[in-house]
Structure 1
Amino acid sequence: MSTLPIPLQTVLLLTLSNVFMTFAWYAHLKDLAARPWWIAALVSWGVAFFEYMLQVPANRIGFGHFTLPQLKIIQEVITLAVFVPFAVLYMNQPVKLDYLWAALCMLGAVYFIFRS
Structure 2
Amino acid sequence: MPSFLSFMPAWMAYLLPVLLLSLSNVFMTFAWYGHLKYKGVALFVTILISWGIAFFEYCLAVPANRFGSQVYSAAQLKTIQEVITLLVFSAFSVLYLKQGLTWNHAAGFALIALGASIIFRA
Is TM (by shorter chain) over 0.5? yes
Query: Among 62, 66, 69, which residue is 2:68 paired with?
Result: 62
Secondary structure (helix, strand or coil) at the match of 1:95 reads: coil
Matched residue count: 115
Task: List, as ranges, runs of 4+ consecutive aligned residues in structure 1 with deviation greater than 4 Å.
Answer: none
**1:40 — aligned with what?**
46
Mean Cα deviation higher: 41-50 or 99-108: 99-108
**1:74 — aligned with what?**
80
Percent identity reads: 48
**1:20 — aligned with what?**
27
Shift of 1:29: 1.1
Shift of 1:104: 1.5
Give yes or no for the alignment of 1:94 onto 2:97: no
Shift of 1:36: 1.1
TM-score when normalising by structure 1: 0.92
Unmatched segments (≥5 aa) in structure 2: none
| Conservation of the 8 A alpha-carbon contact between 1:84 and 1:99 | no
| Conservation of the 8 A alpha-carbon contact between 1:20 and 1:50 | yes
Bigger Cα Rg: 2
Q: Structure 1 CA distance, aligned partners of 2:22 and 2:108?
A: 18
Shift of 1:106: 2.5
Letter of the structure 1 residue corresponding to residue 40 of structure 2? A
Unmatched segments (≥5 aa) in structure 1: none
TM-score when normalising by structure 2: 0.88
Shift of 1:111: 2.1
CA RMSD of aligned residues (A): 1.5
Letter of the structure 1 residue corresponding to residue 48 of structure 2? L
